[in-house]
C-alpha cells in the first residue's frame, strides 16, 4: 500500500509580508493568507484526503481549517509541527537580524546551526519528521499544515537527506505544498515540491 503525504505551508501573514521572523510567535493569517488558504484548499480537497493534521499555531491551524471546511474532516493539532523556535530573532525583520546579530545571521545564511537560543536544525528536523511520520498512519492521503522551515527540515528527516542536500531546495511559498509517497519496498520518496496556486515573487524567508 502506498501512502501520500501532502506537507502544506500556511498562508501569508503580515509578518511574512514584512520579512519579519515569526518562529513560534502565534501570528494570524492576513486577508491574502485567508484567500490563499481557500483557493489552495479547493485543489487539495480534490485529492480526497483521509485526514488533516496541523501545527497548533494559528496561521497553520486556520489554513488547515479552510480545507476542513471543504472536506468535513476534523483537524488534528500537533505542536511538534510548529515552526523552528528562533529565540531572540522572533519579531525582528531579517534586516534587523543581520544588523544586530551578524555572526548568527552569517551562520544562518550558510545553512549552519545559528547557536544561542535558536533551535538546532537536527532537533527541529527530528520533531517535525516524527510528526509527519505519525500523520502518515492516518490514511492513504493525509494533508499536514505546517511552516516553511519546519516543512523542509521535516521532509529531509524522512528522506534521510544530509544538510547539504536540504540547501538545494528553495523556500516553500505560502500555501504551497510538498508531495511525498511511502511504501514498504521504496520507503519515502519526493514526488513534487512547491506546488500551489500562487506564484509569489520574491519568495519570503521560511521563518
Catalytic pick from 73, 77, 79, 83?
83
CA distance 118 to 164: 20
β-bridge partners, 189: 181
| Residues 198, 173 contacting (CB under 8 angstroms) | yes
Active-site residue 73, yes or no? no
Name the active-site residue from 10, 73, 147, 176: 10
Exposure of 176 in the CB half-sphere (CA atoms within 13 A): 21
Tally the C-alpha atoms within 13 A of residue 107's C-alpha that lie toward its C-beta: 11
- Cell numbers at 170, concatenated: 528553495
The Cα–Cα gap between 34 and 66 comes to 8
Q: Clarify whether 10 is annotated catalytic.
A: yes
Q: Catalogue the active-site residues.
A: 10, 83
Amino acid at each position: 500500500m502506498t501512502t501520500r503525504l501532502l506537507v502544506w505551508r500556511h498562508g501569508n501573514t503580515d509578518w511574512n509580508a514584512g520579512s519579519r521572523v515569526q518562529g513560534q510567535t502565534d501570528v494570524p493569517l492576513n486577508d491574502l493568507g485567508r484567500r490563499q488558504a481557500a483557493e489552495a484548499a479547493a485543489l487539495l480537497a480534490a485529492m480526497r484526503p483521509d485526514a488533516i493534521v496541523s501545527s497548533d499555531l494559528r496561521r497553520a491551524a486556520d489554513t488547515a481549517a479552510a480545507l476542513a471546511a471543504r472536506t468535513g474532516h476534523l483537524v488534528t493539532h500537533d505542536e511538534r509541527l510548529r515552526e523552528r523556535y528562533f529565540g531572540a530573532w522572533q519579531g525582528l525583520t531579517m534586516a534587523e537580524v543581520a544588523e544586530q546579530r551578524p555572526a548568527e545571521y552569517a551562520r544562518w545564511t550558510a545553512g549552519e546551526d545559528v547557536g544561542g537560543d535558536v533551535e538546532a536544525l537536527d532537533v527541529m528536523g527530528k520533531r517535525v519528521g516524527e510528526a509527519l511520520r505519525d500523520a502518515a498512519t492516518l490514511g492513504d492521503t493525509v494533508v499536514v499544515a505546517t511552516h516553511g522551515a519546519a516543512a523542509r527540515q521535516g521532509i529531509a528527516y524522512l528522506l534521510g537527506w544530509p544538510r547539504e542536500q536540504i540547501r538545494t531546495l528553495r523556500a516553500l511559498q505560502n500555501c504551497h505544498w510538498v508531495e511525498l509517497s511511502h511504501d514498504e519496498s521504496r520507503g519515502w520518496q519526493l514526488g513534487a515540491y512547491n506546488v500551489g496556486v500562487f506564484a509569489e515573487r520574491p519568495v519570503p524567508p521560511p521563518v
